[in-house]
Amino acid sequence: MSKKTFTSPDVPAPDILRCAYMELVVTDLAKSREFYVDILGLVVTEEDEDAIYLRSFEEFIHHNLVLRRGDEAAVAAFSYRVRSPEDVDRAEAYYQALGCETRRGDFTKGIRNALRVVDPLGFPYEFFYEVDHVERLAWAYELQGAGALVRLDHFNQVYPDVPFGADYLADLGFRKTEQIADENDVTYAAWFARKSTVHDTALTGGSGPAMHHVAFATHEKHNILYICDKLGALRQSDKIERGPGRHGVSNAFYLYLRDPDGHRVEIYTQDYYTGDPDNPTVTWDVHDNQRRDWWGNPVVPSWYTDASRVLDLDGNLQPLQERTEAKEIDVTIGADGFSYTRKGDAVAGFKLGEQV
């Protein structure tokens, strides 16, 4: 059980609109460009020798992803847009009241007067309002390939103490939409939303702070299947880590890829509306074999174990804290773990027994 408790700073939290972009440090900008632009088809808003600013087809702000050249692959920022310039000030006051390190400034092209902080969990968070508008290419079908990415959907963060992190995110105004737990009140993962989808970010229990994945949305499931087909045609099918499949959590259709640095990217479509304040939180049993894949297909171990390191405001790697509670991989797979398709059904499915 989590012992640490989050103390609300007693100053108002900023009004967060949505996850807006992630800044990734990549070790070979040309290789990353090939992955994100040539293969995945993200739109280049702007680029120079050090960085590429990318957006999805339905975006009207400057970027949803920054690839910045660096020596070590990592995540430099999880960035959220807030409702007004004043909300950036509110964010500054909020994190200062929490005793977090904060900085104001223009950290990327296209965005001005942003706030960057190392949050209470150790993640580099950004909040901004001022941003250049660019052309929304929603109608530009002549530019959209068969696997067009139309929106940034969410982040996913790895952190050891999910309940502590959940309290912090709740204080910051996020609604918890779903979670994975067990009968002993251990929480393995939880999902948090500001916009009216299942999440803007999620916490996955594990050694952290670390970045589990960043997710882009397509319109339909066949768009995701096409991305797989294209990777096969390019003989890069080993970029596919897990899926495609249907999530239990979120009910979305998914695919997990690994970029040239190993950063995990999810392609995602069709979760549900969560915008009401009393939106019911869904709790999944960690032993339910359909929680992570509704079709019961196995989760590859790397999906549980690998994550990207995150940076502090000076660009140094944040140290990792180990998870002390039970780990999802241990309680569900292998000699000491178990999963069921039907609760109470003694028979393990043949897939589980044979695959791991």
- Judged by CB under 8 A, the chain residues 62 through 91 that form the site for a second copy are 81, 83-84
Of residues 123 through 142, those in contact with a second copy by CB under 8 A are 133, 136, 138-142
Asked whether 29 and 67 are in contact (CB, 8 A), the reply is yes
The single residue among 233, 319, 335, 346 that binds a second copy, judged by CB under 8 A, is 233
Q: Build a one-symbol-per-residue string for 337-356: x at contacts with a second copy by CB under 8 A, - elsewhere.
A: ----xx------xxx--xxx
Structural element, H or E, at residue 159: strand 151-159
Size of the site for a second copy (CB under 8 A): 76
Contact between 275 and a second copy by CB under 8 A: the answer reads yes
Contact between 170 and a second copy by CB under 8 A: the answer reads no
DSSP string, 169-217: HHHTTPEEEEEEE-TT--EEEEEEESSSSS-SEEEEESSBSEEEEEEEE
CB of 349 to a second copy, least distance (A): 3
The single residue among 178, 200, 241, 259 that binds a second copy, judged by CB under 8 A, is 241
Contact between 96 and a second copy by CB under 8 A: the answer reads no
Of residues 184 through 203, those in contact with a second copy by CB under 8 A are 195-196
The single residue among 11, 44, 146, 317 that binds a second copy, judged by CB under 8 A, is 146
Asked whether 292 and 254 are in contact (CB, 8 A), the reply is no
Contact between 219 and a second copy by CB under 8 A: the answer reads yes
Burial of 47 (0-12, 13-18, 19+ CB in 10 A): middle
Q: CA dihedral defined by 156, 200, 239, 223, rounded to 10 degrees? A: 160
Of residues 278 through 317, those in contact with a second copy by CB under 8 A are 278-280, 289-290, 294-298, 300-302
Per DSSP, the three-state class of 29 is: helix
Six-digit token pair at 266? 């999810």
Q: How far is CA 21 from the centre of its chain?
A: 10
CB of 161 to a second copy, least distance (A): 27
